[in-house]
Amino acid sequence: MKKIIVFASGSGTNAENIIKYFAKTKIAKVVSVFTNNAAAKVIERAKNHQIPTEIFSKTELLESNLLQKIQEIDPDLIVLAGFLLKFPDHIIEKYPNKIINIHPALLPNYGGKGMYGMHIHRAIVNNKEKETGISIHYVNEHYDEGGIIFQKNVALTEEDTPETVAEKIHELEQKYFPEIISRLLED
């Protein structure tokens, strides 16, 4: 069975969805959740599924100690699911094309430093976009610039608010993220 590590910084709804999805398969299993936020709800969600968590600081992310912990697990895939820090080059180099991220917009639009969550949804509404969507991509040394694996769009209306855009995006994330992870691990 293949091993997945999930990195998350916040509530962990995508992380929990991935945990539940793979608990029902023989393809892979989420073996650990790593977070940079000791108050993140993802910790509770992981514990509810008996998934060990690793809490670390931004400084520790940049040190080799965290890489060593990842290497001890020997994951087949590292999944960033609402992880808000830039992933360090030394880990990316050790796991080329084995680290993926989900972004709540159709990249290359609305990507880059500071573009996450409601910041993106507000910008999309303010710019009167007709559609948005999700992008699942490989992680490289630049924010949101790794090769795109999958995109799915959703139509927007003039009545959409940042909150309704967030709901539409969340539905896409919940449906497609585990499926795409599964496809990657089956290849």
- The CATH number of the domain covering residues in 2-104+135-153+176-186: 3.40.50.170
Q: Given the residues 49, 90, 103, 121, select the one marked as catalytic.
A: 103
pLDDT of residue 64: 82
pTM reported for the whole predicted model: 0.96
Is residue 134 within 8 A of residue 151, CB to CB? The reply is yes
For residue 157, say whether it is annotated as part of any ligand binding site. no
Contact 132, 157 (CB under 8 A): no
Active-site residue flag, 103: yes
131 φ, ψ to 5°? Answer: -155, 160
Over residues 51-105, the pLDDT tens digits come to 999 999 999 999 888 999 999 999 999 999 999 999 999 999 999 999 999 999 9
Helices 13-23 and 162-186 sit at what angle, rounded to 10 degrees?
Answer: 30
**Token representation of residue 117:** 């969550």
The span from the CA of 15 to the CA of 5, in Å, is 10
Q: How do the domains of the chain map onto residue ranges?
A: 2-104+135-153+176-186
**How many CB atoms lie under 10 A from the CB of residue 162?**
16
**Ligand-binding site membership of 17 (annotated):** no
User: Does 14 carry a binding-site annotation?
Assistant: yes
- Average pLDDT for residues 1-14, to the nearest whole number? 97
- Distance, in Å, from the CA atom of 100 to the CA atom of 2, rounded to the nearest integer, reads 15
